[in-house]
Amino acid sequence: MQLNLYYLCLMQNWITITHQDLIYLLTGRTFVALGRALHRNFKQEGIDVSQEQWTVLSELWQEEGLTQHELAARTYRDKPAITRLIDNLEKKDLVRREAHESDRRVNLIFLTEKGHRMEAVATEIVHRTITEAIDGIPEEDLLALKRTLYRVFDNLNR
């Protein structure tokens, strides 16, 4: 088996990254595992939403009456994806669309009563899932991870 090695400069130190490490980084293995854990924890509590749907709900819990375009930008989704997510959330009676008063082509998205009622439980489940994910990781490592991920994000969005 050939071992492909990549060298990466982190904090002025060169580190070796294997091909497998690079694949995990690029495919978002940790993100997928977190999504699966969140889905499992939602399901155990009888909440029928995906991680992607939760991101839309989370934005609406912060501010209702956003346009589909604003929701797409805030959740880093394209137009077809956000439309599909909102369609599915509507079918579950968690959100509703209202036409914009001055531009009928634009839909504003609002939470239903059921969507509002879900906030406290869903937020607690997310908090519990994140706590489970970071268990045993020292705070200084988490802060370094946060800084690093923000830097990677900023580098890719220049």
Query: So what's the architecture of 38-135 in CATH?
Result: Orthogonal Bundle (1.10)
Tokens (6 digits) for 150: 């923000």
The model's confidence at residue 114, banded by pLDDT at 50, 70 and 90, is very high
Query: Which residues lie across from 66 on neighbouring strands?
Result: 109
Q: Which of 30-34, 123-127, 146-150 has the highest mean pLDDT?
A: 123-127
More confident position, 21 or 135? 135
Q: What pTM, to 2 d.p., does this model score?
A: 0.79
